[in-house]
A and B are shown apart, each in its own frame.
Chain A
Amino acid sequence: MEQYDLMVIGSGPGGYVAAERAGALGKRVLLVEKDQFGGVCTNRGCIPTKSLLNSAKQYRHAQEGERFGVKAEGVSFSLTDAMAWKEETIKTLRSGIEYLMKANKVTVVFGEAKVVDAHHIQVGETTYEGAYLILATGSSPFVPPIPGAKLAHVLTSDQILSLTEIPSSLVVIGGGVIGVEFASFFSMIGTKVTVIEMMSEILPMMDGEFAKLMRRELKDVDFHLGCKVEEITAEEVRYTDAKGVKQAVPASLVLMSVGRRPNTQGLETLGLDIDRRGVVVNDRMQTNLSSVYAIGDVNGRSLLAHSASRMAEVAVANIFGNKQMRMRYHAIPWAVYGNPESAGAGITESEAEKLGIPVRSQTVQMRANGRFLAEHGKKASGLVKVICHRDTQVILGVHLLGPYSSEMIWGASALIEAELRVQDVKEIVFPHPSVSELIKDACFALDHTL
């Protein structure tokens, strides 16, 4: 029987990073993947959506370039070419992961892993033995039992990425990150998009003020908030609106994006603690079985690719190295890559209120910023909000809506992780002109003293 120091199931941003890091430490690592390298992130999530959104943004820029002195005629959008670009991107990234596994001497086995016990897994006829096991099996789109949910034109985020024709109308059920990104994409390429959200606002992790502006900025998308979808038919989506009135909206295509479920099936035999969110882990990513760790979506603690990668590092560190390392969640950045982009790190004001943390905040308009003005004009909208503790002035949250948000937000995470205070951030020199300067501006708005 082949023996390993570590066995990893799943090669998404959790699993392959775990294998890579452990391999780099000189450990004997087995990585089992049932489909393709990269998991949902590379194949059906982060990367394909960013490819497509880039195509749509290019299209939008071409259409709107006239005021910047760029006249383009006969601009059109080819979904086929956009999909081809997306596929090429995915393939390149997959081969990158393949290279990383080779470079770190990770043994890769393709096939469905059957977990025998905490130290044995079976792929096909072969049984492998390992001292430690990391579960990185990810999550899958959740399809609620709504009548009509199984109709052919009702797709999940997995299936919609293989679309060959631009739909005339799309109803997105669920206004979370996935729903909003697809809504932004399809609305940019000419589809009539409607988002139906059960909660009173889209993007639950977003500051309320920002979510409202986001809806306004997605001007071609109709939002129906506080609505419950009752039934999907071949022609329309029927729902009850916030006032209890039955409504319907026509849909040639429906995207079901109400949430994701951890892939815990097949793990039952292990005797793992599994709760509503997924496999229960401590802040070292260890499950109730001391040699079994669970990282990424399957533990349900933070359904983000970069969270999964960090969890991988925390797990591998605790298995082979730094046992002091713990997963911290309070500064994990999130980003929504629509048009416009938005991103955040740390708490919102409403979360602070729930937690009983006294805070102060300042919001600054992006149009007050040189670079933003040069590139978007004075009518465009964008916001930067900085939230600090009322008494200690320590930065607790940063929220961005506007261009480059996703590229700037790591800095906010660093501020929060380092526990910097408003007065500390004011001492940092930000590049000019850059949209990031607004973070410093917001800090001076919180405290104008030098």
Chain B
Amino acid sequence: MAQQVVMPKQGNSVESCIIVEWKVAVGDKVSVGDILCSAETDKSTIDVESTAEGVLLAQLYAEGDEVPVMQSIAVIGEAGEKIELSAPAAQEEVKAQETVVLPETKTAPVVSSIPSVPAQGASPRAKALAEKEGLLLDSIQASGPKGRIIERDVVAAKGQPLSALARQTALEQGLFAPKQGSGIGGRVLAADLAKAPDTATVASTDEVTEIPVKGVRKVTARRMMESMHSTCQLSLHAWADARALKRLRAGFKASSAELGLAGITINDLVLFAVSKTLLQFPAFNAHFLGDKILRFGHVHLGVATDTTKGLLVPVLRNSDLLSLKQLSLQTKALVAKCKDGSIAPDDLTGSTFTVSNVGSFGIEAFTPVLNVPEVAILGVGTIALKPVEDEDGDVAFIEHIGLSLTMDHQAVDGADAARFLRSLMDNIAKIDLLLAL
């Protein structure tokens, strides 16, 4: 007659144990006192001994399953013995119970038909340790059976202890503590906290390429950070009627080569409009220097330029004085110098307002970052069709160009920026009139 072995009771506080590893396979002979499996309580690991002699006929739970104490975990009997087993409801999750008829052969899988708790979750010991250490179970890599988090996973995630100072410093300054420090036995010292997370903890090294931050990237990084740190940036987005722009551009393109106008782009027209509009809004053609604001009599327009080395901003001097053709030629010359690396440092300094155009990528609107100490920067987006209701109440789809104005709220107010942007929209919509001025 087959006998069942139960999960032994471990004192009064333990309600269940997790089977960590089966030591005996189905079909193996066992004697009383032989270790059938190891199990984990929330306090220790125990060995479950066989209370019967014979052949292990069935493992009623898989590794990683949580089993209430005094619940049957194994069936032991004579080789080939047929057992009819109604597995007791071990878990709430265990709904369906099946009668298992053990096959004659030793090698046939038995446990597969036994319902078990779903994979995942964590052992009580793991949960207790994670709680004690203040670790989130979600963040811990499981190595237990069926993807269960067991104690060793929590230990691994816990990392090395922090020194008293490191703990204090980490709390006070919110710093990152690596799992392995530079102190005794890998203890984490205060100096280790300042270090960025080890790339090895993020991904294996063959997935990571280390690129030193230098050159244009370094300058941009510093300038952008400085901008975000030292200004109060606010962006306004608008659309301007782009029909005049498109019409003019088409006209220039089709014009006689002798005129030299074929190269004038939409962007040139926008730069032209910006230069003229800024003359009416000196507050935006300015530098904010903390204790004073410098307003400039002429416009020196920064033109954000994408190069293989990174972002460069050449300066179009006195752009308000230039004819559209002059502006277009000079812009092209500056951009070409940026791209081939021959731009002089002087051509990269002294702008009073900057324009950044990402319209060719289909971007509608964005929040350009101020080119400090300038008070504002205009982002130019793509040209897209916008529904507009005309005087008769008909809706027409009209081409509009996206405009994003970021301004420094330290120097100007939102209403000032709105007025400037409104004026710019009007000037762009009536760019042909502006050209006549």
Query: Are A and B genuine complex partners?
Result: yes
Bin chain B's interface residue count.
10 to 19
- The reply to whether A419 and B186 contact each other, CB–CB distance below 8 Å, is no
Known contacts A392-B169, A392-B190; A418/B163 CB under 8 A:
yes
What are 13 sample pairs from A and B whose C-beta atoms fall under 8 A apart?
A: A326-B182, A328-B183, A394-B190, A418-B187, A419-B164, A419-B166, A419-B183, A419-B189, A419-B190, A420-B163, A420-B164, A421-B165, A421-B168
In the complex, chain B residues whose CB is within 8 Å of the CB of A222 = none
Q: Is the CB of B186 within 8 A of A324?
A: yes
Given the known inter-chain contacts A392-B168, A394-B190, A424-B164, please indicate yes or no for A418 contacting B183, CB distance below 8 A. yes
**Minimal beta-carbon separation of B392 from chain A (angstroms):** 74
Query: Is A417 located at the chain interface by the 8 A CB criterion?
Result: yes
Residue of B nearest to A326 (CB): B182
Q: Write out the residue numbers on chain A whose beta carbons fall within 8 Å of the beta carbon of B166.
A: 419
Q: Which residues of A (48-67) have their CB < 8 Å from a CB of B?
A: none
Chain B interface, >50% SS class: helix
The interface residues of chain B lying within 8 Å CB-to-CB of A421 are 164-165, 168
In the complex, the answer to whether B180 meets A324 with C-beta atoms within 8 Å is yes
Q: Please give me the residue from chain A that is nearest to B164 by CB atom.
A: A424
B188: nearest chain-A partner, CB-CB? A419
B179 to chain A, nearest CB (A): 11
How far, in angstroms, from A326 to B183 measured CA to CA in the complex?
9
Cβ-closest chain B residue relative to A392: B165
Instruction: Please name all residues of chain A whose beta carbon is closer than 8 Å to the beta carbon of B189 when the two chains form the complex.
Output: 419
What residue of chain B has the Cβ atom nearest to residue A418's Cβ? B163
Given that A418-B187, A419-B189, A419-B190 are contacting pairs, would A394 and B165 also be in contact in the complex, using a CB cutoff of 8 Å?
yes
Instruction: Return the CB mask of B276-290 against A: 1 if under 8 Å, else 0.
Output: 000000000000000
- Decide: A417 and B164 in contact? CB cutoff 8 A: no
Task: Give bound CA distance, A269 to B411, whole Å.
Answer: 68
Q: In whole angstroms, what is the CA distance A394 to B190 when docked? A: 10
- Given A394-B190, A419-B190, are A328 and B182 also a contact pair (CB < 8 Å)? yes
- Cβ of A394: which chain B residues have Cβ within 8 Å of it? 165, 190
List which A413-439 residues lie within 8 A (CB) of chain B.
417-421, 424
Q: How far is the CA of A7 from the CA of B170 in the complex (A)?
A: 43
Closest chain A residue, CB of each to CB of B186:
A324
Q: Which residues of B contact A420 (CB under 8 A)?
A: 163-165
Tell me the bound Cα distance from A261 to B189 in angstroms.
34
Chain A to chain B: the 6 pairs with minimum beta-carbon distance, closest first: A419-B163, A419-B165, A394-B165, A424-B164, A419-B189, A417-B184
> Which residues from chain A contact B190 at a C-beta distance below 8 Å?
392, 394, 419
Closest chain B residue to A420, Cβ basis: B164
Residues of B within 8 A of A417 (CB): 183-184
Since A326-B182, A418-B164 are in contact, a sample of 14 more A-B pairs with Cβ atoms closer than 8 Å, ordered by chain A residue number, is A324-B186, A392-B169, A394-B165, A417-B183, A418-B183, A418-B184, A419-B164, A419-B166, A419-B187, A419-B189, A420-B164, A420-B165, A421-B164, A424-B164
The minimal Cβ–Cβ distance linking B14 to chain A, given in whole angstroms, is 35
Task: Quote the shortest CB–CB distance from B58 to chain A (angstroms).
Answer: 44
Question: CA A370 – CA B165 in complex, angstroms?
Answer: 32
Query: How far apart are the CA atoms of A326 and B192 in the complex, in Å?
Result: 13
